[in-house]
Each structure stands twice: as C-alpha cells, then as structure tokens.
Structure 1
C-alpha cells in the first residue's frame, strides 16, 4: 500500500512539474528530492540499480552535450527520413497571412485576457446609412421568382443600380472611388441582399471577394490601380477571375493553363510579353465581364525575364475583348441563375505589365490568391449562410405557428420542435460566428479561421434549410412565387462547393494548414529538418525540439489535471459572468486536449498524417468547434441577458461542444498505434464526457421549439439584419403579415377554434360560426371581423402555387370551399 502511495506521489510530482512548466534543472532537482523522500515509504526506490538509472536519465537531460547526442540527434535523423518535403505551393499556403485567436486555442493555453479585449465591430455611420438606404432600396427592387423563373438574369435596372450605387466597390480604397467597408459591413451588406435574392447577392459578392479588385488593391502597381480601380468602383468595368478549370479545381498546383514569355511584333515594335492558352470553367460574372483576371503557370524558356524555365503560378489582368479570348457563354447554376460561365483563350498575347503587381510578382500568384481568399471564405459565403439563418428562423417559426394539424399548431409537436430547435440554434450560431470571423479579418489574412468559417457556416446552412424544408413540407416543395424555401434550398450546393469544396476544406485545409500555422514550433522544426545546411538545421531543431517537448508535456499534464478536477483550475476571462464561466473552463480544458492529441498525431504518424485525412479532419473539427464556442459566448454577451438569449446560447454551445467531444471520441477510437490515444482519452476524461458537452436535452429542445414561434429578443436581433417584406403578396411578406395578425387575435382564435372542434357552434359558414361564438360569449363581439380576416390570411398563406399545364402561368384558386 505504501509503495502504491509512493508511485502516486511520484506521478503527481511529474504532473505538477510539467503543469507548472518548471525549467529542466529545477524540475530535475524537485523530482530527485521527491524520489528520495518517497524512498522512506517504499525502500525499493533506494535500489542501487534504480538510483543509477535515475541519475543517468537526469544527467542526460541536464548535460547539453549528452542531451544533444543521445536525444536530439537521433530524433533529428529519424524525422528527416519520415517527413516528406514541403513543396513550394504548400509552403506558400502555410506562410500566407497571419494567425489569430485560433492559434491560442491550438496552443493549449488560450490567453483569455487578450480575447476579452476583442470587441465585435460596429458599423460606421456611412456603412449603416448604406445598408439602411441603398441596400434597402435594392431589396425593394428584387423579385427572386421573376429573376429565377422568367428572366434567368437580373433586370437591367438592378444591374444599373448595383453599378452606380457602389455595390461592386466595397473593398476598393476610397482614393480610387471605392467604399472601403470593413469585413463586417461587407458581410452585413451581402447577407441582407441574400435574404431577398441569392442571385443578386452572389452577383454583388464576387467583385468584393477573390478577384481583380482585391488583388489590385493589395498587390497592383500604382499604374494598374489608376487604370482599373476607378472603373471597377463606378461599375463601368465588370470583373471576373479565372482560377478553376475542367481538371483543376481546388488543386491550384495542377493548373494546366499556360503562359509563355516570348517576343512579338506589336504595331511595328518588338514587345516582350506572354502568350496565354487557357480553359477556365465555373467563373462567376464571366458572361458579362469586361475585365478578366487569370491564374496560370508562367514559363520563360528563353530566359527573357530571369534565369528560370518555370516561374510558377502567376496572376494577370486583361480586357475581356483581348484578341483570342472567348467569353460570353453561360453555365446554369441550379437554384440561382447568376452569371457564370467558361472562359477560353488561345494564343492570347498580353504585355508583361498585365501581370498583377508587375513583373516582380511573376510566380507569386499562388500566395497572392491564398491571401485574398479570406473575403470569399470568411465574408461572402458565411454571409449567405447567415442570411439563410435569419430568414430560416423568421419563416420557420412563423409558419410552424400558423400551420395547424390535429387541432394544434405544428410547432408544438415535439418531432417538429426537434427540427425547429436546430434552426433556432444554428441561426444564433451563424450570427455569432459572423461577428467573430469578420472581427478577426480586421487583423489581417487569417486563412485557417476563414477556412473554418467557410466549411462550418455552409454546413450549418445545409442543416437548417433542410429542417426548414421538412417543417414547411409540401408548401416548400412545390415551386412558385409563394414558396419561401425552395430557392434557398436549391442554392445550397453553390455555397458548399465553391471557394474550396467542403470535403477538401474539412479534410485537408483546416487542420492541414492550421497545425503548421498555429503550432508554436512544428513548422519551424520542419524547416530546420529540411535545411540544406544540416549543421545549421540541427542547431535550430535542437533548440526548438526541447521547447516543443516541454510544451507537449505541459499540455498533457494540463489536460489530465483539468480532467481530474472537472475543469475547476482552468483559466477563464476576467470578465466572465456566471453564465459564461463554466463554458470557458471547458473550452480551456478541450484546448489542452486538442494540443496534446495533435502532438501525439505528429509524433506517431509523422508525414502519414497528411494521408490520414479522416484523422486530421477530426482534429480540425475539434479546433473549429472551440472557436465557434468562443464566438457564441462573445455574442451572448452582446445581447440582453434574458431567457431567450440564455436558452439559444446554451443550445448552441451544447451542440458545438458535443461535436467537439464526438471528434475526440472518433479520433481516439480510430487512431490506432497501440491504443495510445485511447489511453490519453481515459486520462483526460476519467469520469467520461463532461456534462456541458452532452447534446441538448429534450427540455432545451422544447424550449427553443416554443421560442422560435414567439417574439423574443433573439428573434428581433436576427431580423434586424434581414430584409423582411411586409407586402402580403410577397412570398416572405405573406407569412410575416399573417404571423403578425395571428399574434393580435391568437387567444380569441384559439377559443373559437376549440369551441368549433367540440361542436359547440352552429352555422353553415365560417362567418356564421364566428358570430355564434360571439353570441355565446366565447369571443368578444368586437373580434369577429379580426378573426375572419386572420382566417382568410391564414388560408391564403397555406396555399401552394398552381400553374397551367405548361408550368408557365400561375393559375390560383384562392376561394375556400366553404
């Protein structure tokens, strides 16, 4: 028994040493002293052989020469054989941009004081005015059914409005005529448009994301900026950017499009330029573009501009009417007929100054693109998802209260509430996530965060729209101008597949880039291992390796200690309140687990981790959900502290952290390697899954299922960013006005409805029955007309569009049978 106690004390001492991050010398002394004291409890600890082994280990660890020769050098040599080289394209992707708070979460010990100083961005007066006026006016002009079903394009007056009112210039600096809005203002603009028309939103968002405008603003020469940016700002020029092709989508390194530096005679003079051959597909705005951005591989076989045969991926800008460019045909994106099409070019000759940034930026196109993907991944596509949440919440809740089955509003059935609660919780999460990600973009290019935002936002959109379709049922399936769900549903694949398909984003990008970008030592260690000067590389590696070892052991010990204490010792922000404190403690605990499991994966899998995509995807899910949970807590603190806010935040946090824990479970179950991950899971979670990481329970689901149907602070907060039509003949306005009328008369309508079901009322018509209810005192006599008006609105709200046999002209029967 005393021997067991001695072993527990020694293990606890090691935990304490690593947890406190003591120096190697101090930690060695402490452990040696405790060992000798424990010998008083277990005399076998004084065995000469054990004492010699202890002394040898401590000597090796504390003697620089021995430590270097016996530990660092063998590890350096082993990793040099295990780790695959980092290619130029991969290196550029890793080094592009900056990290933000996601690096703190990945490091295992987030700096909550720094996080607490991060406040969500507020709109400037100019930005608020634009959203309240120009965006509102644009939304008034839009009819998505007409755009989709009849025109297959935006009306000419909408195109003109977008151009002249600056909708294509949100990211362009003011000195070139642009609006220079913050990422948050861009997101708010796009999501409000998207609540009215996805086609218009996509049209407006492309010039404000990856494309010529952003590339020119960030990398263009002053001559190029003066040449193009004013026209792009005014709408005189319409841009598109050709990156993807039939055989190169997300793998930009596989671009087959080719540019060759050569000499041509132009207007009687010999000019050095580029001969381009390209075939691009799926290029938004291509059919109407006047200026085309292109990504291609540049070659210089005659060494006219340098000493390399292959220069690398390059970005150039050329007028759409350049000789040899074929443009104007359209693809047909399902559910949203925005302008999208192919661009082809054969022997297109452009001068060297067509390269964005000039000749010195030749070959640097991939890094340019990576650094400019943030707007599409972090602003535009999440804005579409957030818009789906805003409208999905509003319409799903209203329709679930209006629609009745078996004498009850369908929203009161628990089966429906399970779906509607997801709509509510995900809508809340999307708004929170939008705030945090756009705030982070103000710090710079945060490629890992924007990849997380793109994947998780669009996947949440897929779930909530599917649930909305399920609840609206046949009313949402049948196409027509009354349908408020079908077109968003059909547009989901656009957001899922563009800017890096979701499968690739999850399995390769989030953890693949995140691990190397966010880990404090890993990328520098790999660089040192692959240094051509092995002596220099080893010196750098040795210094980093022992820091890395201390970092890893510290995180493992922190994960174990926080697991044993139920997160009680976890750091939290100084301003955390009673609601947020337990959640922040759990996030801190999971952060240590993430860092520990990641280091175990690096150590045991090495370069094979690249190919174990499901393993890395689960670590990426864990990382992502910790950041999402931080966003939810930050957003919760910005809203009034009431029952609705607490309930929505609790649901959102439980959903996110339960998925984080699921990712840990799946990782540990499938990792292999002699059960190391399973052992760690047992140490990190000695009593199983934390209570706060369980999925939302039935009581919470019922609460959100009721709240989504009622006026609450959350419902108002989400609607404040959307365009909500009040036109009773509009697909959205019909549901909205009917819902508002229901709120006025619901108590009396329910009383009438129950009396009618019980057979207490007489009369052959609805009016006769309502008047009889008033005569019997079941309802006030002054409510007769209001109830009749509501019932007429309710019936009209439930009708589904019907067409002639050719599905061209709407032919409705709106009169009731009785």
Structure 2
C-alpha cells in the first residue's frame, strides 16, 4: 500500500507542477525502477506495475500513440463534437482572449494581473471631465428632459455637438477627441448619474455604430468624408441591426439586399444593391442623418467577382452606410423606452438603391458584416453599459448613504438599523466590485486587447448588479424613491434598469449561451485546437493537443485535490492583505477548469443546449473575474486599510457566489456518482467560503454614513454637488450639515430625554432651548438650519392633475 501511495503522490506532484509528459514519464519510471529492485514486487503489485509500464511506453512513442489512441479518438470526436456554423465561427474568431483564459487555465498567472499598468487619464482627458463634462452635467434637468420635453433641450444637443462628445473615439486627425477607453468610460459614468437620456445619446455614437466601423473597416474616402462630420455632430449616426424577426439571433437577420444595376444620380447601369428592410429598437434612429445598416446580401445574377466567397447566390451579412434622406427610407418615428426618452425608434427601407461604394470598406467587405459587428461589440459591452451601470451605483452609494444618515425614524438615522445596513452594504460592496471590473476591462481595451468573453460577462454582471443596487436604494428611500418629480433622484434610474439589461445582447442570452458557450472554446488552452485539428484531419496536431489536454485534466485534478485539503495555503501570490483571496481564487480556478472539462467530456455537443448548466458555469467565471478585478483595484489604490471592509465584502461575496454556482453544477452533471466523487475531492470539508458576516456588513454600511477618504474613493468620478436646489445636492447639503451638528444634536437630544423641554413640536423645542439659554443663539440657528435642510432632503414632490399633464 505504501508503494501505491507513493505512485499516487508522484502523479499528484507532477500534475500539480504541470510537468511535461517527458518529465512525468521519468518520475513514474523512477518509481518503476525502485519498486522493481526493492524486493517488494508481490504478485498484486504487478497488477499495477505492468499497466503503468505499458502506458508510459505508449505515450512516449508518438507513432504508436497516434495509431492506437489518437486515430480512434479522431473518429469519436468527429461524431460527437458540436458543429460550428459560419456565424459561430466568426464570433469565435472575433476579438481575443485575455485574463479570462488565465481563469480557465486552473493556474492563473497572478503576476500578469498585478504587474498590469492600469489606465490613467491624460491631462487633456482630465481637463475635459473637469470642464465640458462638468458643465454638461450642470445643464441637465432630468425631470424636464423626461417629463416635459421627452428629449434633451436644444441647448444641450448643441453643447454636446460643439464639444465633440460624439467624437470621443474618433482620432484627432479627423477632428475627434481621440480618447482612451478609460476616458470614454469616465465620461459616460459621470453623465449617467445625471441623465440616462443624455448618457445614452453620447454612448451610441461612441459604441457599436458607423464611427467605429468606419475607423476599423472604412476606406480612405469614407473616413475623410464622414469621420470629421460625425466628430462634430454634423451627421448623427445610428446603426440598424435588430429587427422584429432577429433580436438576439442577429446573425439570421431577414433583411435583403440584391446586387443589381440601376440608374443613380443621372448615371445609368450603376452597380449597386436594391434593399428592403425593417428594423426596430434603433437608438438615435429618429434623429439620425446617417444610417449604418446590416443585411443579407445576394447576387443572383453573378454581377460581383467570382473571387467573392458565396453559398449559391448568398454572399452573407453585409454592412452599408446610407444617408437617411435616400429615397425609400422611412425614419423618424419613436419608441418610448420606460420613461427614458432618448431617441430610439424603428426604420424601414422599401426598394432603396445604393451604389457599391456605400458599403463600409467598399465591395471588398461584402459578406464580412457579421465578423465586423462581432469585433465591434466590445465597445458597448465593455465600456458604455458598464460605465452607465457603475455611474448609477456610485450615485446611489453617495446619496442614498447620505439619505440614510439624515432620515430619522424612532429618533435614530435609519442607516443605523440592521435591516437598513444590509441593503446599504450591498450597495457599497457592489459599487466597489463594479468600479474595479470597469477599470480593469478598460485597461485591457486600452492596451489593444479585445476580450469578447470578458466584455460580455462584464455587461451582464454590471447591469444586473445595477438592478440590485437601485432596488436596494428604493427600499431604503421608500416613499421618496417611488414618487416621481423634480426632486426624485431614483425613479427614472429604476425605470431604466431593464433597458440596460436588454440591449447589446439580452442578459439571459449572454449568461446562458455566450459567456461559457464561447468561453469554453475560446479560452480553453486546448479545446479549439483539438476541434480544428479534427475538422482538418490533422492527426499529428490532434495527437499533440489531445495528450496535452489529458495532462491538463490530470493537473487540475491533482491541484483541486491538494487545494481541497489545504485551501491553497501554500500559494504565495499577493500581499499580506490580499493573499488569502488570491489563494482562494487559485483553488476556484483549478476546480472550474476541472469541472469544465468534465462537462465537455460527458456532455459533448449537447452542452450547447444545457443553458442552465452553461449559465452556472458563466456565473463561476464571472465572479472569479470580478474578484480578480476587486483585488487589482485595491492594490492599484495603494491598499488603503480604511478600504479593507469593501475589499473583504467584494471578495467574500463573489467567492461565495462562485462556490454556490459550482455546487449547483455538481448537482446537475451527468454520471452522478463520479460528480459526487469530484465534489468530495474538491470540497472534502464542506463549503469553505461564507458570505459576508453581520459584523462585516455593519462595517461596510457605516462607510456610507460619514465623510471619509473611502467614501470619496468609492464615488470618485460621479457628479458631486451640495447645491440645495439640486435633487442630489439637497441630500448632500443636509448630510454635511448633519455631520457638522452631530455633537449638537446629541446635546439637544439629551435635553429632551431629561425633560427640560416641554414644547410639542421639534421646531418649538429648538426655540424653547434657546429661550431657556440651554442652547446659544448660534446653536439654535445651526439646529434650525439642519432641520430645514433635512426636511428638504426628504421632501416628496406633489402636483395638481393639470401640472402632471405634459405640456
């Protein structure tokens, strides 16, 4: 038994260290030699010794290995691997992998993350935020926009255009601002806290749309003409992709373009495209002057070059740029998305003819539209929507926290009640998580990465966390949250939450199909290569990758067992303040990689249809990414000890969520006895990670109730004001007065408790205390000022029926 134990230890060590097959063979071969000459070779040991020797021989002779293992494996894989459609392949080829691949590896290289230089604002970018963005935020009256005008005021539209908000991503040589992804995110985040309508209006031209497509795929003439116009708002762009029959399944859009010749601008027989389409949910469509259009292109008369790839007469999804005054286009009607009246609407095209040079990039890009779109989705998923979500969370953290300090019930600020502390801590903890993930992802984008899986998971996680944050804020603010009006800070944001969750790939689709569905293939170190080698009948490559994959599985099994016994205590990444969380993430990564391979092995191609299982895998990956981002965020800020409650909350909540999703995966994997065995090996002592404790929840909630550097760091980048006439400023104003009068309030409360004041109302008691010289005139004035400010902070608007009617 000791010899067998020694063999298992050797396998475990070489697996843990990820030794090559050659090194692993030498280690196990040494065991064979020692046992052979030890005199311990009883007959039962031969049962182990002989097959081990055969296996070592087999895997170290490539020709034998290929003939006996890899060739049959290729036949099996051909029969069981999922088929990949053209659009799926283009989606897989679009973008690249990044930190998501490290988390899939089971052995993340934490040095790579910790040494990453995070994006910072340039002087010009900071001046833009402190100048035009600050001014714009001050111009925005959300009640006027949403209730009275149902649009941005003319002066706001003009200011946005004049200051080139539409040109943030357009290079300076074309008249744009040429901002980094980080600066783009900071602008959207700040504006989002003031007006969803203004933020969306700015987001769209800087996300998936004509500007980005032109920069990446447009020809010189198109760039020279359109980009300067887009930068200053002479042209307002929109991009028409979604239609009634193709929402989430955008790759199967039914809109048709037929290659043909027709008279155009007085010229006969111009080669072009006849178009018919119906689109909806298109942001900026009602006011757009330039329409980006995706459609299916056909060439039944073979008018295009024979070199163009086609399937019969079908060429594929193609993208064109069309002025909206082109005959046959019906545009201008509006949708009304949940009282967030940004310009959004349908458009149609009936027998519209465009010349071939209106295609983005010209005729060279026919049929390449889907890949073009997939590669550009990262801007909306990775920058705009996460920035909008984080902006909402920062706003809520600062001002709902202030509200919880000034709003009193039973003689105490409501933020001191444990029932309120829980949602308040969840608000702050989620804000910390969201901000860290937003910054980490914009850093990746600024460094040339295009991590499609990361941007997808970021979009679904941050918009969902925004929903949690705003729902919690509504619970805390109660009646003042649900009653709309000029003073309401939360209502429009609450109404708009489902919009962010729906657009740029609905969250249900993103979670259950994209994140793990694409991630398992894109991020796995061997799977995509194995699939390609199988499809191309490349036995040599398949053999190499297959055995590397087997070693990868053995390694993750070894590491998972070891980490289950030790909780990765011997891993040493990070600093004394963060090391425990790096260790736990290393353990979760190994388990995630092992479970992914088990699911792929047992389910094969049917895993594509196991959407609930895929969604749980997506939750594991997403929470590991968010936890990684929180650690990076904490270290980038210099590891301030005052922020430790936020770090602990962020890491403990995301790790617990990842653990729970992993356990749910165990319960639903095929071959239950093996799945249960894996669970026992990976979690031998039960669930290792608990959610944040009541003590930690209290510590986090208290951070919202008093001014501090931590509070300022958490809400950095949102629009700050203590203007008593502003919906947010009135709360901050009362908060500041309450902090200054904290000792005075305690003194006044003691007077009432000692029955030294007999007046009935609060206002009368304050005056009585001054009259009896229990308080000075200045103290009485200070308390009265606080009382008035608090009344204003908790005030709820009211209207006559006529006032509620829109002008």
TM-score normalised by the chain length of structure 2: 0.96
CA distance in 1, matches of 2:66, 2:455: 40
In the alignment, the residues of structure 2 paired with residue 186 and residue 667 of structure 1 have an alpha-carbon distance, to the nearest angstrom, of 38
Alignment gaps of 5+ in structure 1: 811-818
**1:755, distance to aligned residue in structure 2 (A):** 3.3
CA distances 1:177-215 after superposition (whole Å, capped 9, x unpaired):
111100000000011111111110000110000000000
How far is the alpha carbon of 1:51 from its aligned partner?
4.0
Report the Cα offset of residue 724 of structure 1: 2.0
Q: Which of 17, 20, 25 is residue 20 of structure 1 equivalent to?
A: 17
Distance in 2 between residues matched to 1:53 and 1:786, nearest whole Å: 87
Contact 1:45–1:51, Cα closer than 8 Å, also in 2? no
Higher RCO by CA contacts (8 Å cutoff, separation 6 or greater): 2
Against the structure 1 CA distance between its residues 47 and 745, is the aligned structure 2 distance closer, same or farther, given a 3 Å change threshold?
closer
What is the rounded CA distance, in whole Å, between the counterparts of 1:716 and 1:439 in structure 2? 22
2:730 matched to which residue of 1? 734
Q: Which residue of 2 aligns with 1:362?
A: 366
- Deviation, 1:643, is 4.5
Offset of residue 627 of structure 1: 1.4
Q: Is the 8 A contact 2:295 2:317 kept in 1?
A: yes
Distance 2:681 2:426 in 1: 33
Q: 1:291 maps to what in 2?
A: 290
Task: Tell me if 1:423 matches 2:427.
Answer: yes
Aligned residue for 1:278? 277
User: Equivalents in 2 of 1:23, 1:728: separation in Å?
Assistant: 68
Give yes or no for the alignment of 1:491 onto 2:496: yes
Q: 2:584 and 2:755 mapped to 1: Cα distance?
A: 56
Please say if residues 456 and 514 of structure 2, whose CA atoms lie closer than 8 Å, have aligned partners that are also in contact: yes
SS in 2 for 1:484: coil
Q: Which secondary structure does the structure 2 equivalent of 1:283 belong to?
A: strand
Which region of structure 1 is more displaced relative to structure 2, 502-511 or 709-718?
709-718
Measured in 2, the distance between the counterparts of 1:100 and 1:393 equals 31
Query: In the TM superposition, what is the alpha-carbon distance from 1:302 to its structure 2 partner?
Result: 1.0
Note the C-alpha offset of 1:639. 2.9
Unaligned runs of 5+ in 2: none
* Partner SS state of residue 345, structure 1: strand
**Number of residues of Structure 1 aligned to a counterpart in Structure 2:** 798
Distance 2:410 2:602 in 1: 59
- TM-score after normalising by structure 1: 0.95
Residue pair 2:330, 2:348 contacting (<8 A) in 1 also: yes
Secondary structure of 1:99's match? Answer: coil
Distance 1:252 1:475 in 2: 41
Which one of 127, 130, 140 corresponds to residue 129 of structure 1? 127
Distance 1:720 1:21 in 2: 43
Q: Aligned residue for 2:556? A: 555
Which residue of structure 1 aligns with residue 458 of structure 2? 453
Residue 541 of structure 2 is matched in structure 1 by 540
Deviations 1:294-331 (A, max 9, x none): 01111111111134311111110010000000000000
Does the alignment pair 1:476 with 2:481?
yes
Q: CA deviation at 1:543?
A: 1.8
Which residue number corresponds to residue 790 of structure 1? 786
CA distance in 2, matches of 1:771, 1:326: 68
- Partner in structure 1 of residue 72 of structure 2: 74
Shift of 1:38: 5.7
Matched residue SS, 1:172: coil
Alpha-carbon distance between aligned partners in 1 of 2:321 and 2:636, rounded to the nearest angstrom = 43
| Equivalence for 2:524 | 519
CA distance in 2, matches of 1:330, 1:758: 63
For residues 468 and 429 of structure 1, the distance between their equivalents in structure 2, rounded to whole angstroms, comes to 17
Instruction: Tell whether 2:315 aligns with 1:311.
Output: yes
Q: Report deviation, 1:375.
A: 0.9
- Pairwise CA distance, 1:754: 4.6
User: Counterparts of 1:393 and 1:778 in 2: how far apart (Å)?
Assistant: 37
Is contact 2:95-2:452 (8 Å) kept? Answer: yes
| Coordinate RMSD, CA, aligned | 1.9
8 Å contact from structure 1 (residues 237, 291) kept in 2: yes
- The offset of 1:243, in angstroms, is 0.5
Aligned equivalents of 1:765, 1:621: Cα separation in 2: 53
Q: Summarize the Cα distance change of 1:780–1:646 in structure 2 as closer, same or farther, 3 Å threshold.
A: farther
Question: 2:709 and 2:61 mapped to 1: Cα distance?
Answer: 63
Q: In the aligned structure 1, how far is the partner of 2:134 from the partner of 2:198?
A: 13
Query: Does the CA-based 8 Å contact 2:213-2:360 persist in structure 1?
Result: yes
Query: Quick one: structure 1 residues 42 and 417, their matched pair in 2 at CA, closer, same or farther if it must change by over 3 Å?
Result: farther
**CA 1:128–1:26 in structure 2 vs 1: closer, same or farther (change >3 Å)?**
closer
| 1:123–1:269 distance in 2 versus 1, CA, 3 Å | same
1:372 aligns with 2:376: yes
Question: In the alignment, does 2:400 pair up with 1:396?
Answer: yes
Deviations 1:250-301 (A, max 9, x none): 2122100111101112314211100111000000000000000001111111
Q: Map Cα deviations across residues 740-775 of structure 1 (whole Å, 9 max, x no partner).
A: 111111221233135335643123554542244356
C-alpha contact (below 8 Å) 1:570/1:589 kept by paired residues: no
Taking a change above 3 Å as real, the CA distance of residues 271 and 37 of structure 1, as seen in their structure-2 partners, is: same
Residue 10 in structure 1 maps to residue 7 in structure 2: yes
Kept in 2, the 8 Å contact 1:169–1:178? The answer is yes
Question: How far is 1:49 from its partner?
Answer: 4.9
Compared with structure 1, are the counterparts of its residues 83 and 751 closer, same or farther at alpha carbon in structure 2 (3 Å cutoff)?
same
What CA distance in whole angstroms lies between the structure 2 residues aligned with 1:80 and 1:778? 89
Q: How far off is 1:554 after superposition?
A: 1.4
Report how far residue 542 of structure 1 moved.
1.3
Once residues 764 and 250 of structure 2 are traced to their aligned partners in structure 1, the CA distance between those partners, rounded to angstroms, is 71
* CA shift for structure 1 position 561: 1.7
1:34 is aligned to 2:31:
yes
